[in-house]
Structures are given as C-alpha cells and as structure tokens.
Chain A
Amino acid sequence: MIVISTFFSCKEEEVDFSLNNCKRNPVFIQSMGFNPAKSYLSTSEERTMGLVLIEAEQPGNPQSRKVKIVQHPSWRKGGWLAPILLDEKGNIFTAPAPFITVYNNLIANNNTIYKVDNTTGEMSEFLKLPFADSINPENPFGIIGMAYLCETHTLYVSTVAGSRRYEERGNIYAISTESGGIIDKLAGTDALGLGISYITGSRELYFGLARNSDIMSVKLNSKGKFSGDAKKVFSLAGIGPRGDDKVRKIRSDQNGNLVIHGMEFNFNLIAPREKQETLYNFIYNNDENKWEPRK
C-alpha cells in the first residue's frame, strides 16, 4: 500500500496559486471536536482500514502520542485507501489501494475516486474511472497518485488498472472537480506519484513512472488539460540506496523545487513497512534548464 498522511497546518490553509497551495481544512474537523493545528488525516494506520482523523500531541512525528482518533462510518467503504488530497474548499479526495492483501479491496473497485464532503464528513463515490478491459488479477493496483491544480480546480489521477506484465495500459486523468468529469487523459502510461510545479515558468505536471525510475513532465494549459507530449526530466536510476526506486510521491517545496519520495515498487503486495523510503531533492538549474539532484 502506498502510505500517505496529509498534515494540516496554518500555512497550508493559505491560498497561493504560484505555489499551487490552496488546501483548506475540512469544516468537519472542528465540528468533530478536533484541533485543526494538531490533526491530520491518515490512510496508513496499520490496524485501521480506511481513512482516519487523528489528533496528536506532535503531528508530523510518527512516535507522538495520539490524543484522539475518529473514523466516520463511511470512511471504510473503499477498503484500504492510499492517496489523500484536499481541495480549496476542504473536500478530501482519496482512492482504494490494497494493503498486503486484496481481501478487503476488490480489484473492480480500484479505479474509484472517493470524495469526503468538507462539511458533513460523509465519504461517497466521486467518480469511477473506466477500466481498460476485464479485471486482471495479476495486477492488484488501480489508482495510485493524485495531484491538484488550484487555479483550474483540476484533479490529476494516475491509475495502472488493467496493466499487465508486458502491457502498459495505465492512464493519467485530468478531472474537473467542479463538473466531476474527465477533461483529458494521458493514455498508455503507468505512473505512480504526481506533483505540480511552476518553476520552469509554465505549469507542469510531474509524474514518476511505475516501470522504471524516470520522472516525466507534461505541460498543462490554462484549462488544466495536457499540452504536448510528456518528456523525461530526470531519473532516480542508479542513485539512492537501491538504485531503482520508483516515485511514490512528488511535492514541490516553497521554491518550486521537487521533493521526491522514492521506494521499491514491482506491482506486488509486499508490505509497505518492508519498503524503505528515500527522499530525493531535485532543484531546477535555470541556467541549463534542467533538473539536478541537490548536493
């Protein structure tokens, strides 16, 4: 399972399009009696399936004592979940991902995006992405990565559903959170983590490939659609302790540089705790127009 925790902080409540940072806290956090400054959402609690809201003494520190934990009854309906994404209204988008076993995660449900209403906290199906063909038991994964473009209210979702050992059938979808419809897609690409940066002077979606260690980018137009072909921008191949990490998550720092969370991924259900995660920092060299690992 891909484990992701999203932390709330005062800073993240600011709306800043240039940093593509417009997340807001869901209203229900306070109505549930939680302190937003010390609370976070998690899909990575090993003993609790689904989404949970946690208030901790020191959010961000995994060892910190958890003061309160709550789970809305609807937050288990997708089985084990992985990505968590907030929009500017405080709505939460998430999707299923199997954790060690597919017992609680039907493969047929792997391409479903769920939305947690920012006011009520109720989780419901937002959009069921199309499957490439019949259910394929050799690949237990579907949706893996999510990113959000604030200025166009576009949700980007990577899915590897339907891909096989020797057939790459994944897609990256651009979805309007306002209409709930697919506005564009990059087909035939198995991608994992997604992230957005403006550092090159244009808005670009960055994504890590699922079958090798390359990080690609594709320009986004003013409507949030893909513009032109995706191109390779850098790779994790040969670096880090394993040398073949795949990208679990991409986020851009305050300057627009990329922080890459890399780990092993081979389309199997090895427990996440066995997968060491390594952080890779890449900065954009404006003089040479290329990305370089931070020394």
Chain B
Amino acid sequence: MSIVFSVFAVVFLSCKDGKKSISSLQGDKSVLESILSSADSLITFPFVEQRVKKIKEALQLPKPVLLYPDSASAKQRLAEMIALNDSSFTQFLFDPFTKMPFRNEVFGIHQARESDMAGIPGPHNLAECFRVEMYNYALNNTSVAIVDAGAQKVLNRFYLSDTQPDPPYSLVDLANEIAMASPEVEKALGFKPTKEKLLAQYYKTSLNRTRCERSRHLCVAPTFLLGEKTLWAIVDLTDHRLVGVRWITSGKTGPAAPILTERKLQDDKISACFCEQETALIKDGWDMKYMLTSSDGLRISNVIFNGKPVLRNAKLVDWHVNYSGTDGFGYSDAVGCPFFSQAAVIAWDPPLILDLKDDANKTIGFVLEQSYRSEGWPTPCSYNYKQRYEFYKDGRFRVAGGSLGRGCSNTATYRPVFRIAFAGDGNNFFEWGNTTWNQWMTEKWQLQNSSTPYSPEGFQYKIASAAGGYYLEPGKGQFNDGGRGDFSYVYVSRHDGKRDEGESDLVTIGPCCNTDYHQGPEKFIEPVAESIQNSSLVVWYIAQLRNDDKAGSEYCWAENKLENGVWNTKVYPCFAGPMFIPVTK
C-alpha cells in the first residue's frame, strides 16, 4: 500500500507543478473604461441643497436626528418617538469629546418579527411591536431598538458597528437622482439617463452589493441596464456625490452579482490604466510618459521640452519618517501601486492633470499630481502623500511632494527621497559659491542650511549641458505652496547604463530614522566617489520636513473635524522639492 501511494505521490507532484495564469486587467474593457470621480470634486446638485438644509436643521435640535423620511403610520411614528426617548438607543447622538452632534437618521420602522423578539421576556402583541433602525453617518454604525408601541416602552436595544441598515426609499431616490445628474454616468452611457433606465433599487440584494469600505460612508449603487450590460454607479450618500462608474456584463439571465465596491473600482482602474501601462502626455511644449511604479511613486520618463531632451526619468523613491520622541522609531514608506507592490501607502486616485495658474489666474503650465493614502487616514499612524510635477510653458519644471500628515505623533520629520535623472551624457554639476559657480568634480553630497549661499536669482546648483542645462532652486518657502523650506540633502551620482543604481524600481533605499546624510543615496557615491565631469548625472534630492500640530502653525498635519454631523478632514500639507530653471545662454 505504501509503495502504491508513493508512486501516486510522484505522479501527483509532477502533475501539479507549474503555474496558473490569471486574466490580465488589460483585457477587461469594463475596467479600462470605468470612471472614478475625483474626491475633491466640487460638483453639487441643486436637489441636494434641500437635503443639506434638512440635515442642518436636524443638527440644531435637542435630539439631533433626521426622522424617518418615508411615510409612516401613527403607530410607527409613536415607536420612533419612544425609541428616541430611550437614552441607551440615543447614546451615539453626540461626539463624547466635543459634544457636537453626529448626523443620525432613522432608516426604518419595521413591523417586528418573531426573530426580533428572541431573548425578550414575553408575551407581547407582535402587531404593536416595531424594530427601529437608526444610522450614524459619522461612526458608520447602526442602533436598533425593539419597541412595544402599545406598552410604550423599549424592549431591547443593540448596536452594530460598521453596519448600515437598508436605506429608506427616499434616500435611494436621492442616490438615483445623483447618479442621473452626474456627468460621469452620462459619459459612460452616451446619453442623459432617465428614471425609466434605472433598475429597481428597492431590493435588498441590489443595495447590499456595494460598499464604500475606504471612506466608511453610506453607499448604494444605482444601476442602468443597457442590453446585456449594466452600468454600476456607486453613490456616496454621506457626501452626496458619485464615487465612480463601471460596466458589468449581466447576461441574459438578469444582472450578475459581482461585488463592485469603492475599493475594487478604484484599485482595478488605477492598476489597469496606470500601473500596467505608460501614458503619453503632450502639453504646453512638454512631451513625456508617466506611469505608477511598484514602490517609487509616479515615474515620468523621456521628458522633452520643445524638442530638447530634459530628463531621462524622475520619481519619488521613498518617504522616510522619523519620530524624534523615540530613538530609532519610524517607517520607510514606499508609495506606489495598489496590487503586487512594495508600497506601504498606495495610490488612491488616478493621476490628475491640472492647470497651473499664476496670481492673475492666467494659465502658465500644468501639474501632474498623484495622491497616495493609508486606509483610515487621518487616524493616528496613517499617512497621506502627494507627488507633484509642475511643468511651465517657459521651460521651468518642479519635482515636488508633500505630506498631509498625520503620522504617529507631532515629533515626525518627513524625508521624501526624489531621484531625478537628467537626459544626456555630457552634464556637469556646479554649486554657487558666493560669487561664482564652482564645479563638483566627483560624486558628492551637500546639506542646505542657514549658511547656504544662493546666486542673486536664488539658485543653489547648476546642471550644465551643451544645450544649456538647468539651475536648481531649492525650497526656501518661496513657492507659495505652504512649504517652509526644504533643508535638503543633495547627492549627485554618475549614471552608468551597465549597472542599475535606481534606474529600475528601487526597493526601500534607506532606513527610516537616520538624521544625517545616510538616507540611502550615499551608497551610490561611496566609498569611491567617481568623476562626474561630462557625465550622465542623477540628482538625489531629500527634503527634511518637521511636522507641527500647534494650533495656527500646523504643518504636515491633518485632523478630523465634525462638520454638519460627519467627519471632514482639514489638511495642513508640507510641500517640498526643487524648481529647475532653464539656463539661457
């Protein structure tokens, strides 16, 4: 028997060796064509104003609760009133710290069933008993009261965290209105939708199929049937906005039941469109490609301005976060793609391309911006980073990044590590020496501090090439982005195509908590500093940003504030990064 089994085992092993292929998102048209709404969108709808007015009025009441909005019998209303007079059922109406009201709304007053009466000593007249469900938008929890309207008392009450009861019809109608009015839905459908195109939304199965697990908001998914395809529109009823849309093939037997949620919608789209392929960008004389990396943020490559090569590539290698309150405590955060990556803080939205305007509101270029965020931000020890490339019509460009907090404490120093690889192999590097430009002959690093000399124009370095080159102007608080100075380490290393010194995706380059120049790039210039004359050069720029939570001077910080009964995040970003200015001959 054992011999027989051994033979079997050999066959078994050999048959099972190998790998399984997984379908690529690149082949999924529905993912590629899905649309994510920007969380920063200012789009509002006139019909939402009425709802917001009601919310504000309810928040002024001694019992700040939006009553059940649908029609209800007198007994149901009595049950609602009894429940709202129960101090235990209403224990989540106010923030215990600020005493400000949370947004609460009664979602249902249902006839009680036998199952609702389990554990409640009887007997009771079931016809007189109701299950009252109240949703707390700020805490994303549900309070339930079992009420005997005849006896005018609450028989039982309990709470369900991270749980949303079925919303009332009027809220589902509101979600449908938001979906139908959203330009993303119209764009996906190719026409302005009407109510007739909506599938019935009043069935539990439909409403349970989506979640906003990241924002922990109340979301529902109005769907639009078009032939055998269904367009899912995820609507956030906490913020009254569209999260995004995606087509799902439903087939002839009716709508399929995929679980399309906020996170899946976002991660799939970002992965398919920006992690697995490069995107070309031609604008304002600039020509480049960009894509999200596994762990080096948004990488731009083959950057050309007015036909002249400028950068081979640039990226954000790491964020080193050091907490000075505790020796050696902190994190090295890589930023990048949501799936199969070494990123600790992942891309949350697709890259944005925004107009860059001057004080007179005149467009002077554009911004390529990428956001990364921890789940749960801005709770303690979560992070939110922005990476920003600015391109000006006059040939200037800036490589920048910022932290939006919040981190683990108010003792953090953030050190973003930028890697900027210049085009061409005949570059030379100079620093300003009070009166003249002095050339760096070999690989080297230097710290920007209070005694650093700047040229009359404010420049610290010059990368010179036969075509002219660029001046480097470090952050000194002059860029009108809230930055208070970079206090940067700059390293210059020689690029050699025969070895990889960070040209491909870099694993974490340095530890979290070194406070000197040992941030990682030094490994490419030590122990033997190579010549950097007439070479292909890489500039590493590491800013140092100390956070602050003091009222009025917050920096690299974020905090939640209750506004209209729900949490809104107030951010205090700290941006850093150098500006590059063309050398004019």
Contacts and interface: CB of A to CB of B under 8 A. Distances in A.
Given A165-B340, A267-B339, A269-B334, A103 B510 contact: yes
A194 B167 CA distance: 38
B539 to A, nearest CB: 23
B18 interface: yes
Given A100-B331, A138-B341, A169-B19, A274 B375 contact: yes
Interface residues on B, range: 35 or more
Interface residues of A, number: 45
A167 B21 CA distance: 5
B409 interface: no
A140 B24 CA distance: 20
Given A100-B344, A103-B510, A243-B211, 5 more contacts: A101-B342, A164-B340, A186-B16, A225-B5, A241-B162
B115 to A, nearest CB: 10
B343 interface: yes
Nearest to B375: A274
B344 A237 contact: no
A66 B118 CA distance: 42
Contacts of A166: 21-24
A184 B14 CA distance: 11
A186 B16 CA distance: 7
Contacts of B9: 184, 225
B344 A139 contact: no
B381 A271 contact: yes
Nearest to A185: B13
Interface in A150-170: 164-169
Interface in B509-531: 510-512
Interface in A43-93: 47
Given A137-B294, A138-B341, A243-B259, A101 B20 contact: no
A169 to B, nearest CB: 4
B332 A100 contact: yes
Contacts of A242: 211, 213, 261, 263
Contacts of A138: 294, 340-342
Contact of A187 (B18, B340, B343): B18
B211 A47 contact: no
Contacts of B512: 101
Interface in B368-422: 374-376, 381-382
B331 A268 contact: no
B508 A101 contact: yes
Given A102-B508, A188-B16, A270 B346 contact: yes
The 4 tightest CB contacts between A and B, nearest first, are A168-B20, A103-B508, A241-B162, A274-B375
B264 interface: yes
8 contacts: A101-B331, A101-B332, A101-B333, A166-B22, A242-B213, A243-B211, A244-B263, A271-B381
A193 B557 CA distance: 37
B437 interface: no
Interface string B484-513: 000000000000000000000101101110
Contacts of A168: 19-22
Nearest to A188: B20
B19 A243 contact: no
A133 B510 CA distance: 27
Given A188-B16, A266-B338, A274 B376 contact: yes
| Chain B CB within 10 A, most for which of A164, A242, A271 | A271
B16 A165 contact: no
Given A187-B16, A270-B344, A274-B376, A137 B507 contact: yes
A273 B476 CA distance: 35
A268 B21 contact: no
Contacts of A244: 259, 261, 263-264
Contacts of B45: none
Among B213, B264, B329, B341, chain A packs the most CB atoms within 10 A around the CB of: B341
A238 interface: yes
A168 B333 CA distance: 27
A266 B261 contact: no
A242 B267 CA distance: 14
Contacts of B457: none
B191 interface: no
Contacts of A261: none
B17 interface: yes
A221 interface: yes
Interface string B1-41: 01001000100110011111111100000000000000000
A226 B109 CA distance: 53
Nearest to A264: B375
B346 A101 contact: no
